[in-house]
Chain A
Amino acid sequence: MATVMARGLRKTFRVADKQPGLAGTLRHLVHRRWRSVQAVREVSFSIEAGEVVGFLGPNGAGKTTTLKLLSGLIHPSGGELAVAGHRPFRRERAFLESITLVMGQKQQLIWDLPPLDSLRVNAAVYGIPEREARRRIAELAEMLELGEELTRPVRKLSLGQRMKAELMAALLHRPQMLFLDEPTLGLDINAQARVRQFLADYNRRTGATVLLTSHYMADITALCPRVLLIHEGRLFHDGALAELSERLAPWRQVRLELARPLSAAQLAPYGEIEALEGCEVRLAIPRERLTATITRLLAQLPVLDLEVSDPPIEELIGRLFRQGSLEPAPR
C-alpha cells in the first residue's frame, strides 16, 4: 500500500511585489501589490512503504515546498495528500510520531549544550522512557560512530559531527517516514559518504521510507533507485534513476589544462564549450564519443592535464531543461 499519495498537489504563495529603492518602498507602503507564486503545481505521485526516493530539481523548483507539504508544515492550496494514512497538515500526534524532517540548513540541537541534552529533551517530548532512550542513543551512536562528541557542546563540533548528531535527534523516535532536505549540505566527501551509508543502513534495518533532496548527485545515485524530477513546481520525471541517467549521462565533463590558450573556434569541433578561460577549458562531450574525442584531444592539442567527470547535478538538470528534452510525466 502506498504510504505517500499526492494527487494534483498545489501550493501557491502570495508574495509582496516591491520595487527597489526608496520610491519603491514608499509606493509599497501605500499601495501593496501582491503576486502569486505557484511553488507546486498539480503534482501527483505515490510512494510505497520502504522506498528511497530522491527529489531532484534546480533551486527554487519546489522540492523543499513539497517536503514541507508532506511533513505537514504548510497547508496545500489544493489537491489531495495522504502520508502514512494521515492528512499531514492536521499534524495529529500519531502522524508526527511517525515522521521526521531533517534540514541541512536548520538545526534543532541546542547550540550551547552537548547533543545528549537535546536528545534527552526529544526523548521526553516523544514520551520515550529513559532506559529505552539510553538504549536507542547507544545504538544510533554506534551506527553513526559518535562517542565523546555527544558530551561536547554542539558549537564545538565539526559540521559533519553536528549533522550526525542532528540525525540522531531526528531519528530517536524511530520514524517510519524520513524527509531529508539536503542532509549532506556542506559536508566533506568522507562525511557525506558516512551519512549516505548510515541512511542506507537505516532504511535496510527499519524498512523506513526515505524521501531526500540533494545537490550532490552521489547522494542520489548511492541511495535512490527512483527519482522525482521537479522543475518550476511541476513533476517532469518519475521513475528509475537508470532511466534518468540515460537522459543525463550522454554528457560528460572534460576539463583540460592547455600549454597555450586556444580560441573557441579551435576547440568547438571537440565538444560543447562550457567554460574557456586562458589555458583552462571545460568541454561537454557526448558519452558515446568520449574515448574517441579524448584520443583526438590528446593527439591534436597541447594538453597538459585532462580530467573527466560527471557534471554537477544542477548543471545537468539545467542543461536538460534548457534543451527542453523532457516533457511532463504523463499521469
Chain B
Amino acid sequence: MAMPVAPVLRYLRTLRRFWGTALATQLEYQLNALIELLAMAGNLAGSLLLLWLFHRQGVALGGWSWNAVLVVLGAYTFLDGLTSTLLRPNLSRIVNHVQEGTLDFVLLKPIDSQFWLSLRTISPAGLPEMGLGVVLMLWAARRELGALPPAPLLAAAVLLLAAAVILYALWFVLAATSIWFVKTWNATEVLRAALTAGRYPVSAYPAGLRLLFTLVLPVAFLTTVPAEALLGRLTPLTALTSLLLACGALVISRAFWAFALRFYTSASS
C-alpha cells in the first residue's frame, strides 16, 4: 500500500466508532431491535422456503444444472444481504443530508466524505443473509463439483468483491444525484429491481435481456460471473473485464461525487 500507516489507522478507528455508535443507536430502541431481529428471521425463513420450493421442482435454467443455479442464487442472496447491511442504510441517507443541510458537517470533517457517507452506519440485520448467501454458494458448488479447489474459491471471492463494488458504485452515483434532484426519484429502487434479475443465470433470459443485463445494467457481473468463477467455468477475459469494471465504477463514482459537490448549495438554515 502506498498510503502511509497513520491515515489508514485513522480510518479504521473511525469505522469502529461509526459502527459502534450505529449499533448503540439501534439498541437504544429495544422493541425496534427485537422487531428487526424477527424481521430478519422471517426474511431468512422466506429465502429458505423459496429455495426449497425451487429445489422440489428441480428445474434447470439456461442450461445450468439445478446446483449451479443455486450458486447464482447464493451470490444474489449475498449481495441482497449487503444491500440491507450497508448500501441501503447509508446511501439512502444522503438525500436527507442534502435536504436538511447536515451534509455540511460531513463536508467539514477532515475525512473523505464519500467514505463517511458510504460507511457511517451498519444494519446487522442483513448480516445473516450475507452469511446464508456464502454458505449456499459453497454448498451448492460442492454438490455440483464434488470438491472445492482453492483456486476457483479465491477467484470467486475476488469477483464477488468486485460485484459488491460495482453495485455500490452504481448505487452511490444514483444517490449522489440527490445534490440536484433533492428527491432521488427512487432510482435506487430500479437498481434493486435490476439486482433481483440477478437471481438467475443471465443465460436463462432471452437474448435481448441478456444483452441489457451484460452491457447496460451489469447484472451479469453481479451474480453470474462470481458463480461461474466458483464453478470453474470462467474465462480469464470475463474475470479481467469484471475487475476492470469494478475499478472503473469506483473511480467514476469518486469523480462524480467531486463533480456533484461543485453544485452543492447547502440547504439554508
- Chain A residues with CB under 8 Å of chain B are 13, 64, 68, 71-75, 91, 93, 96-97, 99-101, 103-108, 110, 112-113, 117-118, 120-127, 153, 181-182
Contacts and interface: CB of A to CB of B under 8 A. Distances in A.
B108 A124 contact: no
A2 to B, nearest CB: 22
22 contacts: A64-B269, A68-B266, A71-B108, A74-B264, A93-B110, A96-B110, A101-B108, A103-B104, A103-B269, A106-B104, A113-B24, A117-B21, A117-B24, A121-B17, A123-B17, A124-B10, A124-B13, A125-B17, A126-B110, A127-B6, A127-B110, A153-B28
Nearest to B13: A124
A16 B101 CA distance: 19
Contacts of B109: 96, 122, 125-126
B47 to A, nearest CB: 30
Contact of A105 (B13, B265, B269): B269
B14 A121 contact: yes
B25 A100 contact: no
Contacts of A181: 269
A125 B102 contact: no
A75 B111 contact: no
User: What is the interface residue range for chain B against chain A?
Assistant: 20 to 34
B255 to A, nearest CB: 16
Contacts of A107: 102
Interface in B2-41: 6, 10, 13-14, 16-18, 20-21, 24-25, 28-29
Interface of B: 6, 10, 13-14, 16-18, 20-21, 24-25, 28-29, 100-102, 104-105, 107-111, 262, 264-266, 268-269
Nearest to B109: A125
Nearest to B104: A73
A169 B105 CA distance: 11
Contact of B16 (A64, A110, A124): A124
A106 B269 contact: yes
A122 B116 CA distance: 12
A125 B110 contact: yes
**B13, B101, B262 — most chain A CB neighbours (10 Å):** B13
B63 to A, nearest CB: 48
Given A68-B266, A93-B110, A96-B109, A113 B14 contact: no
A73 B110 contact: no
B107 A73 contact: yes
A124 B14 contact: yes
